[in-house]
Amino acid sequence: MYLIKRKEVLNPSVVLMEIEAPYIAKKVQPGQFVIYRVDEQGERVPLTVNDCDREAGTITLIFQLVGRSTLKLAALNEGDSILDVVGPLGVPTEIPEGAKRICVIGGGVGCAIAYPQAKKYFAEGLEVDVIAGFRSKDIVILEDAFKAHSTRLTVCTDDGSYGRKGFVTDALREQIEAGAKYDCVIAIGPVPMMKFVSKVTEPYGIKTIVSLNPIMIDGTGMCGGCRVTVGGKTRYACVEGPDFDGHEVDYDELMRRSGVFREREADCRMMTLAEQKRGDA
């Protein structure tokens, strides 16, 4: 069992949990993830490790409440335990050797997934520009954390209620056109965001890393659930990713495959909300 040491609600649909997992905390690197199950009936859910405390033996997960499994996790509190947490899984993020200036871009809860990379490369002395995008002011997360671990932070909101009005792609294009020479861009967020960031960087020949989130089941390369097409080849995101070259990903296929269970997922979400209202979940 894995003890929940701390829980914090970051915005109405995003929760942070610090979980006691000493083995994972000792080994995990930025870009890696875990797969958890709340209980015996729970499905296996991948979540990126947002941070870790190697001394205290804890890992931090930040997740959006989207369906049955994340609602069930969010219903737990400090002092509760979850059945299992497997990891660290996946390949740590790798940027080109000798990179001096990078841009880390997060969209929504993708900011939580992009944060460990900003933190690591800033600590290593690289110039790290962060562009964090949200729909509106009320859902902005991790602003202070990014401020502390970046050279320059631009917060964007789609509706202009906070920071720069517009999409992360607008801010990125502006910075490149103003002369920012990036050796690498790391973009993590909704699939369309990663697709369009990659389209912005492609004409400039800027290496672009995206973190893909296909449906994962076993997380060990056995089931094929997480297969994606990159550079015309089938790749398994759980063992060969989740990071891939943003200019080579077949985003349209990824979006099609991610939506396969949408109706079932919507039913399960409604069922879970009803159970939680009755108090029997």
Ligand X SMILES: Cc1cc2nc3c(=O)[nH]c(=O)nc-3n(C[C@H](O)[C@H](O)[C@H](O)COP(=O)(O)OP(=O)(O)OC[C@H]3O[C@@H](n4cnc5c(N)ncnc54)[C@H](O)[C@@H]3O)c2cc1C
Q: What is the CA radius of gyration of the chain?
A: 18
Scan residues 201-240 and list those touching ligand X (CB under 6 A).
213-216
Q: Which does 155 bind (CB under 5 to 8 A by kind): ligand X, ligand FES, none?
A: none
Partners of 155 in the β-ladder: 132
Q: Near ligand X by CB under 6 A, which window of 97-105, 109-117, 122-130, 145-153?
A: 109-117
Q: Which does 57 bind (CB under 5 to 8 A by kind): ligand X, ligand FES, none?
A: none
Q: What is the DSSP letter of 97?
A: T
Q: Which does 219 bind (CB under 5 to 8 A by kind): ligand X, ligand FES, none?
A: ligand FES
Number of residues that bind ligand X (CB under 6 A): 26
The minimum distance between CB 214 and ligand FES, in angstroms, equals 8
Scan residues 222-261 and list those touching ligand FES (CB under 6 A).
222-226, 236, 238
The minimum distance between CB 136 and ligand X, in angstroms, equals 18
The minimum distance between CB 221 and ligand X, in angstroms, equals 13
Q: Are 130 and 154 spatial neighbours (Cβ–Cβ below 8 Å)?
A: yes
Partners of 101 in the β-ladder: 127
Q: Which is nearer to ligand X, 119 or 200 (CB)?
A: 119
Instruction: Give the helix/strand (H/E) hosting 164.
Output: strand 164-165
Query: On the CB side of 245, how many CA atoms lie within 13 Å of its CA?
Result: 13
Q: Give the chain's end-to-end CA distance (angstroms, integer).
A: 19
Instruction: Give the helix/strand (H/E) hosting 193.
Output: helix 191-201
Q: What is the DSSP letter of 163?
A: S
| Residues at the site binding ligand FES, with contacts judged by CB under 6 A | 216-219, 221-226, 236, 238
